[in-house]
Chains A and B, each alone.
Chain A
Amino acid sequence: MEHLIPIGLNHYLTISAFLFGFGLFAVMTRKNAIVILMGVELILNAANINFLAFSKYNGGMGGVMFSLFIIVIAAAEAAIALAIVINIFKIFKSVDVSSIDTMKE
């Protein structure tokens, strides 16, 4: 019990492991494309927590800068992915990924 009181690296690693697991579960099991995108965002947040935790306990700045770039790339990914989802909705009238089975209109 006494090793739970001072917050250490393992606390952050545990939280990020759970976030990564939830995100992977959403990507694997959900049929709605937007919920899959939310799962991808959870995975990116889990990676960010790991980078920042290792960066804090290491004392370097590499992890902090990397997490900043991850946030920028997540923004770009969300914009592109939602544009694709809206196009899919215009063509198939649904965002259910299990019903999208052709690459032509």
Chain B
Amino acid sequence: MAKVLKSNLAAAIMAIMLAIILIYIYSAAAIKMETAVFVQHMVNGLSLGSLFALVAIGYTMVYTILSMINFAHGDIFMMSIYFAFFAVSSFHMPWVLALFCVIATTPVIGALIERFAYRPLRDAPKNSVLISAIGASFLLENAATYLFGGRPKALPDIPVLTRVITIQSVNFQVVSIVIPIITFVLLAVLLNFINRTKTGIAMRAVAQDYEIARVMGVNINWIISLTFIIGSALAAVGGFMWGVRYPGITPTMGVMPGLKCFVAAVVGGIGDIKGAVVGGFILGLGEIMIVALFPGISGYRDAFAFVLLIVILLVKPTGILGSKAREKV
């Protein structure tokens, strides 16, 4: 099994590389794009893609365990950015401390949502859980509007992260480099955790069949809570970095990134953490390259994610890295 996954991942990465090379050849030949401009677009795309990847991991984890779309994930992400704002702006914390605060506080919301909105419905029909998820997302948005107001809040610049670096007329913020690094470090840590530790194994057991896992002595309530906690913590890291990169914070800002990250998770192969990362990068690069190559249709950019989703669902419903056909599809 592991072998198949590995080779799938390698194939996916090679396919992405190949696609990038083809796009480069096309852009250089057909629209005479300079290499520096092309590289700039790629940097933009990678920076966006790694943000999508971070949040997509949270989706995929919850989906693996509970087979449900956590519609509220995007709103947990939104909340984390508000927390970051209050930590930096109201409490004047240094950014590292603020980041840890956000990672510590956001999972509380995730765990609360799981406890009160999902756990009572664990044996209810799947549609009820989906509706409850929509309701939780609705509640978080309205609560944020009420508590923080509809006006945008701005996360102050954190010079260490927002400083711009210029290499050969290609410009990028430090944070654009930091995000992919964090994404890959977290991915490695998470994979290790899931594959090597006892809790990780318990998590996989619950994902397989939670009734049997219960019989085997796994405390499934704790494992499910833990999944939400880890997923929310990842959303918090993603949220913090998102806030640094795109500082306007509004109560509804989690909706679109949330949906897109879910798409990324499905594209990569839901249930597979590596897939979420691959999907995130494909989505980020794709969104940027659409505008770069076809400026005339820049107004359709937001449709890209959904078109990609539908194409993937039709061609390979298990996603790029998914290998086994799941019953859900």
Do A and B interact?
no
